[in-house]
Structure 1
Amino acid sequence: MKKLLSLLAVCLLSLSVSAETLKEGVHYEVISEKATSTPEIKEFFSYYCPHCFTYEPLAKRLSAKADNANFKFEKSHVDFLRAAGPDIQFMLTKALVAGDRLNKPEISDAIFQYIHKNRSVFTSEKDVRQIFIANGVSGEDFEKTFNSFGVKAQAKNMKKLQDEYASKRILTGVPTFVVNGKYKILSKGFNARTYGELFDQIESAALELVKKK
């Protein structure tokens, strides 16, 4: 009987979450009058942030949904955490971009593992190079991509948007999800008892907001 009641409670909670109306100022805030030209969900994160590491399952779910829906999911790495110098953090921004360009999503996972599981420290480009080589990228391909103009330009654009949002107090911590460049999701506004429930609610909100203009 207890198991049945527990199951019923979970089902009722799920129904209440799915039926919940998103409220401005509670679940999200408007950060811009204009939306992006194409639908998108952007996650601002840091490899050095343990919460961002915890949120990776949600990021992967949104990324998978983007493949079959009419929006783009993008991760944007920040450099303002105190765990490392901004130069090292910017180097990891370039690593994120290079991994994407080489179609190696496992690179991002490996960087998280390197910091949070292995407790290792990035001190130079050589450390990043070893991550790529360990995940099937040749040294030549790494150097060609990592140091390319395109990767540097994209990393600088991430930094530029980060600084813009930080100056407006839109970006005050990570992880932060911004939808269509117009809506910032407020994680604290959701009523969840576990990370699983929270991820379900944030995902539902993000997918609903991505339809808005």
Structure 2
Amino acid sequence: MKKIILALFIAVLVPLQACAQEQWKEGEHYTIINDTATDKPVINEFFSYWCPHCFQFEPIVKDIKSKISDDVKFEKVHVNFMGFTSTETQDDASRALMVARALKKEDALSTAIFRYIHVQKSSVTSIKDLKNIFMVNGVDEADFDKLVGSFGVNSMLKKNNKMVEKYRQYLRGVPNFIVNGKFQATFTRDMNTKDMVDLIVWLSKQK
């Protein structure tokens, strides 16, 4: 009986896998930008706090995070080449993201920055504005001051900026997803939000 059940399971699983492979096509839904994948699965979302599309994409990001395997790392990478504000201010926002990461409050504080810019329609012009956002959202001023110039935050910021430079030639806009260091997702006009989530989850399983 167990053998029969296993055979039935495989019979169902194989067509589903084939269906997924037929649904997502290289050159249409994703591009291979590297010969080899990263050792461990990782999804990098390149984004800007000033980008309205990135703000609108946040619920999709949340859905992606809920559906990827436990061994897949999801990491935001903040870019500084958008034309919405100065490079220096965008660098400050990248630093603020690293502080939020160090505080282990990245999701909540990222949402707060997005809402400050896109919902409250307020301007971020310096690290002081970002510090105020953090304080309003429960971060102690002393904790922020301690972390903002710390070795750990500087190291994470350096890594963030290296990632931007590494993939800069592929980043014609944001949000942009590089998966496993090998695949760049392409969202076509006919895709709905479920399709977008399914594509990223599927890519995270590819080598």
Which category of TM-score, normalised to the shorter sequence, fits these structures? 0.7 to 0.9
**Partner Cα distance (1:77, 1:124) in 2:** 16
Instruction: Tell me the residue number matched to 2:7.
Output: none
Superposition deviation, residue 64 in structure 1: 2.9
- The runs of at least 4 consecutive aligned structure 1 residues that moved more than 6 Å come to none
TM-score norm. by structure 1 comes to: 0.83
Instruction: Tell me the residue number matched to 2:140.
Output: 138
Task: Give the conservation status (yes or no) of the 8 Å contact 2:30–2:186.
Answer: yes
Instruction: Tell me the residue number matched to 1:191.
Output: 190
**Partner Cα distance (1:31, 1:72) in 2:** 19
Superposition deviation, residue 140 in structure 1: 0.5
1:54-203 → structure 2 map (5 Å cutoff): 54-66=56-68, 69-104=70-105, 105-166=107-168, 169-188=169-188, 191-192=190-191, 197=192, 199-203=193-197
Superposition deviation, residue 63 in structure 1: 2.3
The letter for the 2-side match of 1:69 is: D
Instruction: Tell me the residue number matched to 1:4.
Output: none
> Any idea what SS the aligned residue of 1:76 has?
strand
Unaligned 5+ runs, structure 2 = 1-18
**Partner Cα distance (1:46, 1:209) in 2:** 23
TM-score norm. by structure 2 comes to: 0.85
**Partner Cα distance (2:136, 2:175) in 1:** 27
Task: Give the conservation status (yes or no) of the 8 Å contact 2:96–2:127.
Answer: no
Instruction: Tell me the residue number matched to 1:11.
Output: none
Give the fraction of aligned pairs with identical amino acids, expressed as a percent: 41
Superposition deviation, residue 88 in structure 1: 0.6
> Any idea what SS the aligned residue of 2:170 has?
coil
